[in-house]
Amino acid sequence: MVTTLQKYIGVACISCRESIPLQFKAQHRYRRFKESNGDSKDEVVVPLFRLRCHGCHRESLYVPGDVIEFDGAPEGHRLRKKVSLDAIQNV
């Protein structure tokens, strides 16, 4: 049986060190920056990633140097439970 270890890229929260996965757009900007690093003689624009930690709920700015590869699958968002309109009307 062959098992594939899942990996994802993200950052460690500055406050609580919990892993924060990069969103799709941030992943795209990170990869584009990494591929073009040093190829161009133009001014280098370093992308900033504004990410919110799902553990401590603090938001911070991160740069490509903060991005690391984590083992496993990213944890899902802790979604709030939605209340249906029927439940509200019956109260």
SS3 10: strand
Q: What is the pLDDT, as a whole number, of residue 76? A: 64
Q: What is the mean pLDDT of residues 76-81?
A: 50
Q: Is residue 71 over pLDDT 60? A: yes
Q: What is the pLDDT, as a whole number, of residue 81? A: 45
**Cα separation of 11 and 64, whole Å?**
9
Q: Where are the domains of the chain?
A: 7-89
Quick one: which of 64, 62, 58, 57 has its CA closest to 78?
57
Residues 84-90: contacts with CB under 8 Å, at least 24 apart: none
